[in-house]
Amino acid sequence: MKKKLLPFLATTAALILGACSVQTESDVSQGTNTSSEEKPTIEILGMSANETDMNIVRDQLIKNGFDVKLNTQPDYSSFSAQQDAGNFDLAVTGWTTVTGNPDYAVRSLFTTNGDYSIMSDPEVDALINEAALETPEEYQETYKELENVLVTEKAYIVPLYNSLKAQAFDKNLLKEESIHLSKSRAFAWEPVSFSDETKNETDSLMLTQTMSDLTSLDPIKANDGSINQLNTNMYVRLVNLTDDDQVTSEGALSHSHAIAEGNSDFYFVLRDDINFAAVENGQAIDTGEMVSGQDVIFSLNRAKDSNSVPDHRTYTLHEHIDTVELVTNLSELESIQLSNGSGTVLEGLEENLDMPIADAVEEIAEVDNTSGSYQVIKVTTTEPFPQVLNYLAHQSAGIVSQQQVESVNNYDINSFNPSIDIAYGDQRAIINGTNHLYASGPYIMTTKDDYEAQFQANPGYRPETQEAPNIKNVTVRFISDPDSALSSLRSGEIYLLYGLDETKYEIVENDDSLALQSIPSNAVTYMLFNTNGRTVSESANLRKSILYSINQEEINAAYEGKKLPAYSTVSPLVDTGNELVADPAKVTEYFEAFINE
């Protein structure tokens, strides 16, 4: 079943268009129609947060002879309903590649039956699958060819821009060196510390996000702006991403990991100092249940199985996983070479261990890292696929408790009724006071209402180590309006604002109490053509006529020069050399070809 495309949940405030180089509708209504034939009306769907983009695109299309109708929805739910109903020609949307690898940037969006795909093109499918098996040195040309099909030849999407990623925080309250901004990974809470460290136990770290309606706190059932940061901090993964998108075992369930020769077998040595947290009487407790290899096997098997839960939204991210198993024979690790030829898998796994691997055990009771007894997980992929490590760093690969999830999800999946049945991770359980969460990560949600969500540190997460969470309590306020969120930061209601719009940088820079962090992101905003039932659905020539109406330089000017050019969702990750240049001659050429079809 094809599903809706997840909109990029940028909280962009509307700009006063008169202050930039973009013309208003009345200004451009006198623009020259580039064809003697009357151009069709183009309906643009978007959310109010994307109003600036919608207005600019409207003006550019009118300037090139198109009539334009704006379908502006107040929130994601309304947007989604309109998209599902097909009430659009173009939908302003976007994608952030939170895994740092280009396969994630395209697979869910553009493959047939992808989690968020509304298109089906065998040529696109083949190129995405080809690039997935290639090294970075090889896949640059393949992704360029993919862009040529996706954008240049068939114009399924219209790229608008690549964004910067920024956050602002109160530098008087928070210790600056404890605040990290990662290119892909969601903001990590556990390193953060108050400048006055005595407050770490008593005060709550005040954060914010725009969306209050949480899709699911089950990591495999959601992949959107409502839960990415929350689930990232509630569930540990086999590996993580560094701030610059390198795969690492730091802050992960594994001490270390290794890739075997052939790039199909991946090994992970598990820690034994992380327990699941639960909530009792509103407080986070250590359950005493170690996050084990058995939980890893359960979690990854359900992650790759589209039928493991109703409304599974992330299975295509893990479809390259074939098997997940515990290794109990050390000779296997000793006999297999690393993919880079630098030694055996055992040597690679032991490189960062304080205690060498004396025994690879299956039973949890036999695990004792201090004496050299470890659980070792082996993940085998369906094909050679090094990018699987990036997917294992994604929040959807978070490790859940097999015992707890199975005890909650005792429904018949074939007759599951979402209006009645409460599945694991359903926010209604937390709101109703029957918190059933088991968190393997540094924090667990204790309460939630329409106004905020409360979290407490997991007392079983690497206790008595430097990796244990610094701040005990975290509060996430739900503030939908970006200007209100910034005002809350400046007034001291929140202490850190993650996802600051580029047009607000100067406000932060001029505030002596605030600090700004900004880096190029993996977020690309684009417009998606409706692929079913509209005139644009049937004609690539009409779509290309619209494509070449778009002037990215004008869009960038509206954002004070702080946007970056993009050609597709892989633009921040792979330099294909492709760029979109507005061209009125091509607008006319392709529209005339459309008329003559």
Q: Are residues 334 and 420 in the same domain?
A: yes
Nearest-angstrom CA–CA distance, 380 and 391: 14
Q: Are residues 424 and 280 in the same domain?
A: yes
Residue 467 lies in a domain: yes
DSSP state letters, 553-595: HHHHHHTTT--B--SSTTTTT----------HHHHHHHHHHHH
Residue 377: CB atoms within 10 A of its CB come to 24
Evaluate whether 186 touches 229 at the Cβ level (below 8 Å): yes
Detail the DSSP E strand segments found in 408-513: 443-448, 452-457, 473-478, 496-498
Q: With residue 350 as reference, give the H or E element that holds it.
A: helix 345-350
Within 10 A of 575 (CB to CB), how many other CB atoms are there?
Answer: 11
Shared-domain flag, residues 265 and 414: yes
Please give the tally of structural domains in the chain: 2
Same domain, 71 and 52: yes
Mean pLDDT of 13-18: 31
Res. 145: pLDDT tops 90: yes
Answer whether residue 257 is part of any domain.
yes
Q: Where are the beta strands (DSSP E) in 375-442?
A: 376-381
Q: Is residue 2 part of a domain?
A: no
Is the pLDDT reported for residue 540 higher than 80? yes
Q: Is 89 exposed, middle or buried (0-12, 13-18, 19+ CB in 10 A)?
A: buried
Give strand pairing partners of 473.
204, 456
Classify residue 514: in a domain, yes or no: no
Q: Looking at this protein, which amino acid is placed at residue 16? A: I
Residues 279, 134, single domain; the answer is: no
In the structure, what pLDDT confidence band is assigned to residue 116 with cuts at 50, 70 and 90? confident
Q: Which residue has the higher pLDDT, 386 or 382?
A: 382
The predicted structure's pLDDT at residue 37 = 66
pLDDT number for residue 21? 36
- Token code pair at residue 573: 């990750």
Looking at the fold, whether 40 and 189 belong to one and the same domain comes out as no
User: Residue 494: inside a domain, yes or no?
Assistant: no
Pair 314, 381 in one domain:
yes
* C-alpha span between 48 and 343 (Å, rounded): 55
Which positions ≥6 away from 155 have C-beta within 8 Å? Answer: 529, 540, 543, 544, 546, 547
Residue 3 falls inside a structural domain: no
Q: Are 339 and 471 within one domain?
A: yes
Whether residues 215 and 357 fall in one domain: yes
- Beta-bridge partners for 453: 448, 476
Same domain, 456 and 580: no
How far is the C-alpha of 364 from the C-alpha of 267, rounded, in Å? Answer: 18
277 and 349 share a domain?
Answer: yes
Mean pLDDT of 244-267: 95
Residue 269 is part of a domain; what is its CATH number?
Answer: 3.40.190.10
Q: Any residues with CB less than 8 A from the CB of 233 and at least 6 apart, and which?
A: 186, 188, 189, 190, 441, 442, 443, 455, 474
Tell whether 492 is covered by a domain: no
pLDDT of residue 115: 80
The model's pTM: 0.81
* pLDDT at residue 24 tops 50: no
The type of residue at 512 is D
Distance CA 278, CA 480 (A): 29
Q: pLDDT, tens digit, for every residue of 323-367?
A: 999 999 999 999 999 999 999 999 999 998 999 999 999 999 999
Return mean pLDDT, the chain.
92
Domain membership flag for residue 512 = no
The stretch 257-278 carries a mean pLDDT of 97
> pLDDT band at residue 98, thresholds of 50, 70 and 90?
confident
Tell whether 156 and 232 lie within a shared domain: no
User: Residue 231 is part of which domain span?
Assistant: 174-482
Query: By the 8 A CB rule, do 582 and 548 touch?
Result: yes
Strand order in 265-270's β-sheet? 254-259, 265-270, 376-381, 321-327
